[in-house]
Amino acid sequence: MHMPRHVLALAAAAALVAASGARPAAQGRYYGGGPDRLSGTFELDRTRSDDPQRVVDQATRSMDPETRDRASQNLTRRLSAPESMAIDVQGNNVSVMSSDGPRVNFRADGRNHTETSPTGRPMTTSAQLQGSDLIVTTSGNRGSDFTVHFDAVPGGMRVTRELDSEMLQGTVSATAFYRRTADAPRWDIYRAGPPPPPPSSYRRVPPGPILVPEGTSVTARLDRPLDSRSAREGDHFTMTVVNGGPLDDAILDGIVVQTNGGGGRANIAFDFDSIRTRDGRSGPFEAVIDSVRTPNGETLRVNRAGEVRDTSRGADVGDTAVGAALGAIIGAIAGGGKGAAAGAIVGGAGTVLIEGRDQLELPAGSLITLTSVRAR
């Protein structure tokens, strides 16, 4: 019995539609999850992801050499994607963790939430779900603002980060692809560690023995003025020890890792590199700042780095700035990366913060009390 030609054509078309519809489903089963599912555990696929250095080279190619070097160091660090990520989406409740940052819990309700950034300035964060995709945007901190898209794709997840930079006229973006490795999120992928050292071009730590035992308290005098408007990330500074017993007259070297002015909460964040004693010895030196007193007797507030929250429970939006916490997880905030704890000033020995002013000036001669920590 012969079927009419038009009936055969319809049957063939139906078979093609059925086959094309089955293929994505089979692919989804192969990878452990469908293309519309964002929850799970994921590993970075470098072969499909943007090369951060190539993206940065393109964005900074028109800068003068000195500015380009500083911008490249900053942006390359911030665009480097974490090796693994875990996400859980239940309604509009979201939990995210990465190999670079501890778990944070928040609500993707599409509303603007006013928070306090790690540098003490106000910031606005908005998180929303569009279908199976998650979008988080922060604003209010020039140089640290970002937008990140978490998009579910067949077999994994695509993460696109668009970062703001004080050294660029606009923004720069990079995309990372992640393979799904488990249907359920694993909350053990983050391993807390010390904040990363600044890029090697900034640090000139001499080899040598540890000259200052951990826990030693000293007072040092700032050798040149610093202020939040003119200082830039990577600027070097020195301090001379004036109250340290056998360490008197030693020179402490370090760099500025972050500055912010405006908004009534100006600040400068520091990191120490090395110490040179008066008898010619030198070695690594790291410390946290305890207090600052200017030559006119004013005492300034200090936020110390290194706070780490309970990573198993996660930090809720109610007790931290979720934008800063998520920025640490994805590496988007200035100074972000491994060890970027929720609520911490990342990568610095301490942040000097002054409220009620748009500019922080630390005159030469300011006395800074420090406690040494174990050099990394």
- The reported pLDDT for the residue numbered 31 is 34
**Do 243 and 135 reside in the same domain of the chain?**
no
**Do 178 and 236 reside in the same domain of the chain?**
no
**Do 177 and 231 reside in the same domain of the chain?**
no
Q: Which of 361, 368, 246, 239 minimizes the C-alpha distance to 302? A: 368
CA pair distance 291, 122, nearest whole angstrom: 23
What pLDDT digit, counting tens, does each position of 44-81 carry?
999 999 998 899 899 888 888 877 777 777 777 778 88
- The reported pLDDT for the residue numbered 163 is 85
Question: Which helix (H) or strand (E) element contains residue 134?
Answer: strand 133-139
**Do 305 and 176 reside in the same domain of the chain?**
no
For residue 125, is it within any domain?
A: yes
Per-residue pLDDT band for 11 (boundaries 50, 70, 90) equals very low
For residue 303, is it within any domain?
A: yes
For residue 51, is it within any domain?
A: yes
Name the more confident of 155 and 8.
155
Q: Which of 174, 197, 213 minimizes the C-alpha distance to 349? A: 197
For residue 350, is it within any domain?
A: yes
CA pair distance 374, 36, nearest whole angstrom: 47
pTM of the shown model: 0.55
Tell me the residue length of the chain. Answer: 376
Within a 10 A sphere around the Cβ of 41, how many other Cβ atoms? 23
Quickly list DSSP for 41-52: EEEEEGGGS--H
CA pair distance 285, 245, nearest whole angstrom: 16
The proportion of the chain whose per-residue pLDDT surpasses 90, expressed as a percent, equals: 27
Last residue of a domain, one of 128, 161, 182: 182
Q: Which span out of 34-48, 240-254, 348-362 was modeled with the highest average pLDDT?
A: 240-254
Token pair listed for 342: 């929720």
- The reported pLDDT for the residue numbered 16 is 37
Quickly list DSSP for 183-199: SSPPTT-----PPPPPP
**Do 222 and 369 reside in the same domain of the chain?**
yes
Q: Is the pLDDT of residue 35 over 80?
A: no
Last residue of a domain, one of 131, 156, 182: 182
Q: Is the pLDDT of residue 199 over 50?
A: no
**Do 255 and 366 reside in the same domain of the chain?**
yes
Q: Which residue range is the domain that position 238 belongs to?
A: 217-373
- The reported pLDDT for the residue numbered 77 is 75
Name the more confident of 361 and 302.
361
Q: Is the pLDDT of residue 353 over 60?
A: no
**Do 271 and 319 reside in the same domain of the chain?**
yes
Token pair listed for 119: 């540098």
**pLDDT average, residue stretch 224-230:** 87
SS3 of 57, please? helix
Per-residue pLDDT band for 30 (boundaries 50, 70, 90) equals very low
